[in-house]
Chain A
Amino acid sequence: METKIGLEIHCQLTGAKSKLFCSCSCEYRGKEANSNICPTCAGLPGTLPLLSRRAVELAGMISAALGCTVPEEIAFYRKNYFYPDLPKNFQLTQYNAYGITSMGVDGIMQYGDGKSARIRRVQLEEDPGRLVYEGSMETSPYALIDYNRAGVPLVEIVTEPDFADPKDVRLFLDKVTSLIEHLGVCDTRLEGSVRCDANVSVGGGNRVEIKNVSSFADVEKALRYEITRQNSMASRDIEIKSETRHWDDARKLTKESRTKEEEQDYRYFPEPDVPSIVLGSEFPSLVSRSMPELPDKRKERFISKHGLSPHVAQVLIDNKELADFFETAMSAHYLPREIANWIVNDLMGFVDEQQKEERSILAGLKVTPGHIAELARLVDEGTINRSIAQQVLAQAVKTGEMPSQVVRKTHSSRIDDSDELGRVVDSVFKAEQSAVQDAKSNANAANFLLGKVMAATKGRADPKAALELIHKKLAEQS
């Protein structure tokens, strides 16, 4: 059955210093409850919203990067609903109606291999406060409210229902994440800085909203669960209700909301205290001027200028941290392919899945771009071979020692000194008399001897040089 998935992605503009409509700091994390508020974001009577120019600029960058049309004039609307995390009991947001549009509309974004999704709109809005419960929401005798987050600028990206496969959703979200990281508008590693709601319908049935998904990795899981649930209901001819379901992170399933879902009537109308903002015709050029190199361009450069494979380039740019790591390493020793391969194929093996999900791949990692650059150089110069290099990397990950230091300490540099190698070959010939006899008539036995040499040198021997020596010695003896 045909599955249609649409997304609503909320992304905090942590790249801004102040809240969307007041001068309180955007850095609310780790602060004492209600210590990061002022009369305006606490919704006190008589206060007025003062729109931040920077937030508009950042939202403009996101819109442009998502291929949206940015209008010459934007306006804000009030979305009226009551909820304990809303200081004014309405949210200042944007709404596309009556000739007024949000920050961006009608975009399209390519992702994966030749796939694309349409962006319906990009809107700028304020984050609500935070509710904390003693125990669970159901049993807590009160809601504890912290307004520190209230008013932090959020960009909401709404897609058309252009996804059919949760795997594509994942690829798309990775792309969006990388994009906002590259734009520098949002530190995606901060808890709660990016959130995603999804809506799913199967076989043209009713739309079900899934909320409360706290990580992008879980979006895929939540969607798989929900699609299976809807399919199995449809196959039993049970009608799927149009509803909002919450993702239960602990049990990994979607469930009906416990709070009664009222028919919502948001009574939108234009915010009178924020006049409509004339961005003017210079705005797009202002935005493009402050726009850094975006992931697609960067990938292209990695491929064409530095000779990376499309796959490796993709892995790097999917996470800005990784791409930056690569570029720093490369600037130490220009060995792009070698370095990229070490990062993508080897270094990633040491990063646990959890960290990958949280997009803080390099946090706590003792290996710096300098380490990888040096490792690549040692291999490139032939000081160590690849399998030794892998062991060196493992050691560096553990201790943070530089690769050259590890090599020195473990005497693991490649033995290419022919005297030393000759002595090893001599002793192997002495120990393996019958194999030596064999080898004179059987080429495979020579490889056996080489294996013994490699084992005796713990892999440090240069296999090519060792084999040459073995053949030479066999020839001498025959």
Chain B
Amino acid sequence: MELFRLDAMQVADGIKKREFSAEEYIQQLLERIDRVEPKVNAFITINRKEAIDKARSIDKKVRDGEPVGPLAGVAVSVKDNICVKGIRTTCASKMLENYVPPYSATVVIRLDDAGAIVIGKANLDEFAMGTTTEFSKHGATRNPWDISRVPGGSSGGSAASVASLECAVSLGSDTGGSVRCPASFCSVIGIKPTYGLVSRYGLVSYANSLEQIGPAGRTVADVTAVMNAIAGSDRNDHTTLDMKPDYSSRVPDRRFRIGIVKEFLSGADPEVAKVVYNAADILTKQGCKCEEVSLGSVEYALASYYTIAMAEASSNLARYDNVRYGFEMSSEGYEWNSYYAKVRSNFGEEVKRRIIVGSYVLSSGYYGKYYLKAQQVRSILKQELKSLFKTYDLLMGPTMPILPFKMGEKIDDPIKMYLVDIDTVVANLAGTPAISIPGGFSGGLPVGLQLMADEFQEQTMLDAASLFESVTHVQRSPDL
């Protein structure tokens, strides 16, 4: 049996029923990783020893009849901007190439408690800044459906590792679409939870007020199980809300009122739009009511998003001065300002660009012109969504306006690259949840369908995804 093909729920089930051992499963995955990594490059670090050790301890518990958790033995890749104690966390940057955190992120502890096994640290754009996973110190990740194309980003390693059957599920972080975009390009499911639902403790900050950690997986049941493990208040994160949800992945009885966001489609590639309209037809056949709606302030969303993201980033990344941790470079002989400027020139091009723009929009006299306005746009967007969610259970559109594109195609034109985030940033600005599910293919390339719900309505989103999943059979893994 090819165990690496199993979904997370099948893995946990098989291990608990002793159909196979966690160790066998992990061994097979490590072999699979060795086979496909040269093509995909989804990982920065592979935790061979730790993974096997954990698998053995789970097998022992199963033999001893002890409880092993809902994700027992399930291999998870963790984006390399989420801290795992004792394992290097690089953020795909020279600045953290030797950084080993002395603590684990809350989500990692919770996954560990649920029995999951961290198989490796997934590749990303440096400090999660990018849409293609090309801006990585460790080389670009490739789209498993076509290795000449980008997998999306910044959680490209997360989505690619799941699509390539190198792990069952993954944790990514979504600041402006960073889980949903690669989920869309790699034909897997990716969730951006409501802001405050999942702890960010241990997630290396890029833009604190926008980002959430979210899962990627091949089935609704798998991402639901991960959400159940990680969601809920954390006293190590002041921005989490006091709740502990329990989601289900059963196909629902109810049928949904779905608004199709006109602005998301008008700017989309016709091939992409076709897949979305087709999905609307499928859902309508299932009894859902789909109609076009307008979300007017989308026009300002990107400007607001990039202002806030870059401003917060410029401040968050100030701490990387190579004094307390970092890479090998002695400060002896340097005056402190010149040492800081020298070491910090080792940030990658995109990171430097964002830090500089962030400094610009916050510099004296500009706060009111950019940052404050950007925050006000968030309010407007929130209000607009609130009123739409009075009428509709969900909003729908493409996750990405375009198909996965060739590597190197957009990397030299920042604005062109930023523009493709137009459909995803809305949920980050408004703090609302969104999911990208495989919608179909166009010319062999995946198209993701984005569903957005009101704050804390993750269950509605998962229900619709389950419904869609039950009637469509979108292929979720490529031949590699």
Contact = CB atoms under 8 A, between A and B. Distances in A.
Question: Does A touch B (CB under 8 Å) in the complex?
Answer: yes
Contacts of A39: 101-103
A269 B363 contact: no
A142 B371 contact: no
Contact of A87 (B319, B362, B363, B371): B319
B364 A45 contact: no
Interface in B223-239: 235-239
A42, A44, A274 — most chain B CB neighbours (10 Å): A44
B340 to A, nearest CB: 6
A277 B359 CA distance: 27
B101 A44 contact: yes
A88 B319 contact: yes
Interface residues of A, number: 33
A167 to B, nearest CB: 37
Contacts of B331: 142
A45 B96 contact: yes
Interface string A44-63: 11111111000000000000
A44 B315 CA distance: 14
Given A42-B324, A141-B332, A49 B371 contact: no
Contact of B239 (A44, A82, A147, A273): A273
B411 to A, nearest CB: 25
B126 to A, nearest CB: 13
Contact of A273 (B89, B101, B208): B208
A126 to B, nearest CB: 14
A267 B315 contact: yes
B318 A46 contact: no
A50 B318 contact: no
A269 B374 CA distance: 12
Contact of A45 (B99, B208, B372): B99
Interface string B181-214: 0000000000000000000111111011100000
Contact of B238 (A45, A90, A145, A275): A275
B237 A48 contact: yes
Given A46-B83, A48-B238, A269 B367 contact: yes
Interface string B42-85: 00000000000000000000000000000000000000001100
Q: How many B residues are at the interface, by size bracket?
A: 35 or more
B201 A47 contact: yes
Contact of A88 (B103, B318, B336): B318
A143 interface: yes
A121 interface: no
A42, A268, A269 — most chain B CB neighbours (10 Å): A269
A420 to B, nearest CB: 79
A6 interface: no
B387 interface: no
Interface in A13-55: 39, 42-51
A80 B371 CA distance: 15
- If over half of A's interface residues share one DSSP class (helix, strand or loop), that class is named, otherwise mixed; here it is loop
Contacts of B89: 45-46
A267 B365 CA distance: 9
A43 B236 contact: no
A44 B238 CA distance: 17
Contacts of A87: 319, 324
B147 interface: no
Contact of A44 (B236, B318, B325, B372): B325
A49 B238 contact: yes
Contact of A274 (B99, B202, B238): B238
B371 A269 contact: yes
A82 to B, nearest CB: 6
Contacts of A272: 207-209, 239, 312
Contacts of A46: 82-83, 89, 101, 105, 201-205
Interface in B313-335: 314-315, 318-319, 321, 323-325, 331-332
A265 interface: yes
A60 B456 CA distance: 34
Contacts of B319: 43, 45, 87-89
B202 to A, nearest CB: 4
B323 A269 contact: no
Given A268-B367, A269-B315, A273-B208, A45 B83 contact: yes
A141 to B, nearest CB: 7
A89 B321 contact: yes
B171 interface: no
Contacts of B99: 45
B124 interface: no
A345 B411 CA distance: 80
B204 to A, nearest CB: 4
B216 interface: no
Contact of B362 (A48, A82, A267, A275): A267
Interface string A117-155: 000000000000000000000000111010100000000
A89 B318 contact: yes
A129 to B, nearest CB: 10
Contacts of B318: 80, 82, 88-90
A268 B314 CA distance: 12
A89 B314 CA distance: 11
A101 B314 CA distance: 24
A138 B204 CA distance: 36
B203, B315, B325 — most chain A CB neighbours (10 Å): B315
A46 B331 CA distance: 25
A87 B320 CA distance: 9
A46, A84, A141, A275 — most chain B CB neighbours (10 Å): A46
Nearest to B324: A42
Interface in A82-102: 82, 84, 87-90, 98
B266 interface: no
B91 interface: yes
A145 B371 CA distance: 34
B359 to A, nearest CB: 7
Nearest to B318: A89
A84 B83 contact: no
A84 B331 CA distance: 12
A42 B324 CA distance: 8
A371 interface: no
A416 B181 CA distance: 103
B238 A273 contact: yes
Contacts of B315: 78, 80, 90, 267, 269
A265 B321 contact: no
A45 B95 CA distance: 11
Interface string B166-188: 00000000000000000000000
Nearest to A83: B336
Interface in B325-371: 325, 331-332, 336-337, 340, 359, 362-364, 367, 371
Interface string B83-95: 1000001010000
Given A51-B238, A89-B318, A142-B331, 7 more contacts: A45-B204, A82-B318, A265-B363, A267-B315, A267-B362, A273-B208, A273-B237
Closest A-B pairs by Cβ, 4 of them: A89-B318, A267-B362, A272-B209, A272-B208
15 contacts: A43-B319, A46-B83, A46-B89, A46-B201, A46-B202, A48-B236, A49-B238, A82-B318, A82-B340, A265-B364, A267-B363, A268-B367, A273-B205, A274-B238, A275-B238
